[in-house]
Amino acid sequence: MNTWGNKIKISIFGESHGGGIGVVLDGIPSGLELDTEFIKAEMTRRAPGRDNLSTPRKEADEVEILSGVFDGKTSGTPICAVIRNTNTRSKDYSPNILRPGHADFTGFAKYGKAHDFRGGGHFSGRITAGLVFAGAVAKLCLKESGITVGSHVKKIHTVSEDSFSDLSLTPELLSEISQKGFPVIDDSVGEKMKAEILAASADKNSVGGIIECAVLGVKPGIGSPFFASLESRISSLIFSVPAVKGIEFGCGFDFADMYGFDANDQFETDGKEIYTKTNHNGGINGGISNGMPIMFTTVIKPTPSIAKPQSTVDLEKMENTTLEITGRHDPCIVQRAAVVIESAAALAILDALYD
Amino acid sequence: MNTWGNKIKISIFGESHGGGIGVVLDGIPSGLELDTEFIKAEMTRRAPGRDNLSTPRKEADEVEILSGVFDGKTSGTPICAVIRNTNTRSKDYSPNILRPGHADFTGFAKYGKAHDFRGGGHFSGRITAGLVFAGAVAKLCLKESGITVGSHVKKIHTVSEDSFSDLSLTPELLSEISQKGFPVIDDSVGEKMKAEILAASADKNSVGGIIECAVLGVKPGIGSPFFASLESRISSLIFSVPAVKGIEFGCGFDFADMYGFDANDQFETDGKEIYTKTNHNGGINGGISNGMPIMFTTVIKPTPSIAKPQSTVDLEKMENTTLEITGRHDPCIVQRAAVVIESAAALAILDALYD
Amino acid sequence: MNTWGNKIKISIFGESHGGGIGVVLDGIPSGLELDTEFIKAEMTRRAPGRDNLSTPRKEADEVEILSGVFDGKTSGTPICAVIRNTNTRSKDYSPNILRPGHADFTGFAKYGKAHDFRGGGHFSGRITAGLVFAGAVAKLCLKESGITVGSHVKKIHTVSEDSFSDLSLTPELLSEISQKGFPVIDDSVGEKMKAEILAASADKNSVGGIIECAVLGVKPGIGSPFFASLESRISSLIFSVPAVKGIEFGCGFDFADMYGFDANDQFETDGKEIYTKTNHNGGINGGISNGMPIMFTTVIKPTPSIAKPQSTVDLEKMENTTLEITGRHDPCIVQRAAVVIESAAALAILDALYD
Amino acid sequence: MNTWGNKIKISIFGESHGGGIGVVLDGIPSGLELDTEFIKAEMTRRAPGRDNLSTPRKEADEVEILSGVFDGKTSGTPICAVIRNTNTRSKDYSPNILRPGHADFTGFAKYGKAHDFRGGGHFSGRITAGLVFAGAVAKLCLKESGITVGSHVKKIHTVSEDSFSDLSLTPELLSEISQKGFPVIDDSVGEKMKAEILAASADKNSVGGIIECAVLGVKPGIGSPFFASLESRISSLIFSVPAVKGIEFGCGFDFADMYGFDANDQFETDGKEIYTKTNHNGGINGGISNGMPIMFTTVIKPTPSIAKPQSTVDLEKMENTTLEITGRHDPCIVQRAAVVIESAAALAILDALYD
Residues of C with CB under 8 A from a CB of B: 6-7, 77, 225
Residue in chain D lying closest to A225 (CA) = D77
Contact state of B67 with D21 under an 8 Å Cβ cutoff:
yes
Count of domains forming chain B? 1
Average pLDDT over residues C243-268: 98
Please name the residues in contact with D87: beta carbons below 8 A apart, sequence gap of 6 or more. D57, D58, D59
pTM of the predicted model, to two decimals?
0.96
| DSSP output for B36-72 | HHHHHHHHHHH-S-SSTTS-S------EEE-SSEETT
Query: Alpha carbon of A70 to those of A75, A142, B237: distances in Å?
Result: 6, 20, 39
Using alpha carbons, select from D211, D245, D208 the residue that is nearest to residue D331. D208
Least confident of A45-59, A119-133, C249-263: A45-59
Q: Are C264 and D323 in contact (CB under 8 A)?
A: no
Note the pLDDT tens digit of each residue in D318-332: 999 999 988 778 899
Range of the domain at B259: 3-353
- How many Å apart are CA B130 and CA B339, to the nearest integer? 12
Average pLDDT over residues A306-331: 91
Rounded to a whole number of angstroms, the distance from the CA of C168 to the nearest CA of chain A is: 39
Chain D residues whose CB is inside 8 A of the B93 CB are: none
Sort residue C58 into left (φ over 0), alpha (ψ -120 to 50) or beta: beta
Helix (H) or strand (E) holding C194: helix C187-202
Q: What is the pLDDT of residue D213?
A: 98
CA angle B176, B177, B178 (to 5 degrees): 90
- Between B260-269, D113-122, D137-146, D233-242, the lowest mean confidence (pLDDT) is in D113-122
Beta partners for residue C241, in sequence order: none
Per-residue confidence (pLDDT) for residue D90, from 0 to 100: 61
Judge contact between A334 and A305, C-beta under 8 A.
Answer: no
Best of D116, D118, D141 to substitute, by most chain B Cβ atoms within 10 angstroms, is D116
Task: Kindly report the backbone phi and psi dihedral angles of residue D154, in degrees, each rounded to the nearest multiple of 5, phi listed first.
Answer: -85, -25
The answer to whether C260 and D330 are in contact (CB under 8 A) is no
Select from A213, A155, A256 the least CA-distant residue to A346.
A213
Written as one string, the DSSP assignment of A26-76 is E-PPTT-B--HHHHHHHHHHH-S-SSTTS-S------EEE-SSEETTEE-S
Q: Taking residues A53-67, report their average pLDDT.
A: 77
Are the C-beta atoms of D196 and D50 separated by less than 8 Å?
no
Q: Can you tell me the distance from the alpha carbon of D241 to that of D128, in angstroms, rounded to the nearest whole number?
A: 7
What per-residue confidence (pLDDT) applies to B49? Answer: 74
Q: Which residues of A touch D24 (CB under 8 A)?
A: none
Distance CA C320, CA D271 (A): 8
Residue A59's pLDDT is: 62
Report the pLDDT value the prediction gives residue D91, as an integer from 0 to 100: 66
Instruction: State the pLDDT at residue D345.
Output: 98
The DSSP result for B138-159, as a single string, is HHHHHHHTT-EEEEEEEEETTE
Q: Indicate which of C1, C3, C6, C28 best probes the interface with B, i.e. most B CBs within 10 Å of its own CB.
A: C6
Contacts of D225 in chain A (CB under 8 A): 77
Which of D75, D126, D131, D137 should one mutate to test binding to chain B, selecting the residue with the greatest count of B CBs within 10 A? D75
Question: What is the Cα–Cα distance from A187 to B285, expressed in whole angstroms?
Answer: 33
pLDDT tens for residues D159-193?
999 999 777 899 999 999 999 999 999 999 999 99
The confidence band for C53, taking pLDDT boundaries of 50, 70 and 90, is confident
- Would you place residue A248 in the very low, low, confident or very high pLDDT band (cuts 50, 70, 90)? very high
pLDDT value for B55: 62
List chain A residues with CB under 8 Å of B129.
none
Q: In terms of C-beta density within 10 A (0-12 exposed, 13-18 middle, 19 or more buried), how is residue C89 classed?
A: exposed
Q: List, for chain B, all residue ranges whose pLDDT scores fall below the cut of 70.
A: 1, 51-52, 54-60, 87-92
* pLDDT of D54: 65
Asked whether residue C42 carries a pLDDT value surpassing 60, the answer given is: yes
**Sequence-separated (6 or more) residues with CB below 8 Å from residue A6:** A228, A351, A355, B1, D6
- With left for phi above 0 and alpha for psi between -120 and 50, is residue D36 left, alpha or beta? alpha
CATH code (residue D190): 3.60.150.10
Distance CA A22, CA A80 (A): 7
Q: What is the pLDDT of residue D55?
A: 62
Contact residues, chain B, for D22 at CB < 8 Å: 66-67, 80
Average pLDDT, chain C: 94
Q: Which of C109, C233, C113 is nearest to D276 (CA)?
A: C109
- CA distance linking residue B279 with residue B302, whole number of Å: 30
